[in-house]
Structure 1
């Protein structure tokens, strides 16, 4: 799969603490909300995301015409009046660029980035029955122990690799909507035959 977005340099990451009350996987709409709520309850919480910034589905899915499938107000966080009144949507069904800007607004207003490790993928998670704790490993080599492991990974962000016969030997570009290039794509007509 082609992915023109490069992850943030490792030096720009916020390392995950070795012990947590809760680890959230994903920094999209649900992940940001979970991180906020966990911190509000006084828990030592952290989130991680494979992407280099917040957005979840709206970070990855940039194909032409990507929009909310419901009216924008449904996605608003209503737990903070200043937060939802501080943002005005330009249309009822906003497009991906505006949704991604809204996700940045949320992360910044709630000061969530300090507790998010970007360019970080959970590679293993095993529950220790004896200690009643999760032991989580990341692609960065981190090992984290956490009481709660919350998956907010969504269902629209991960392409399935090698799903179709012959895909591995195909010489052209293969694009999944969740890996559409940030700068777009130039399509050329070709002769068939």
Structure 2
């Protein structure tokens, strides 16, 4: 399976988006609700329909960027948020340049081919400012070749991220949406 731009465009055009929750998920909403500094520079990679972007903008955050390889969800997002069009990017995350305080992870890591996981971790490190954080959700079920999504475990994630990041939180999400209950880990990894 080649998880390239065409693959994702086809999934969106055929409305084959079973991962799409239709709104921001509770763990991310509750995390965002406690952020006081609305000037933080935030990136949401592999954004898809990015309900997180909509929620952040609606709550006064103006320095929020999204990137996705697929034009379909990005064009939808741009039409809903024309004032932020320059912050809604079509492109390859691995070629993106920037410096962010927070990167929000919502189904992107587990949608990538597992062979790209080390590249993802390195790129996240490159995109974060000193002491910057990756915050979000990772799937908590066995990694297999069936996917996306591709799973993983607390031990796998801890081992993979620990070279470049300090684990602040990595635990079962207690407030997952019903279809994902018991299958998600909430995490905060801080750049070393």
Structure number with higher relative contact order (C-alpha < 8 Å, ≥ 6 residues apart): 1
Which structure has more helix as a fraction of its residues? Answer: 2
TM-score by length of 2: 0.33
Larger Rg: 1
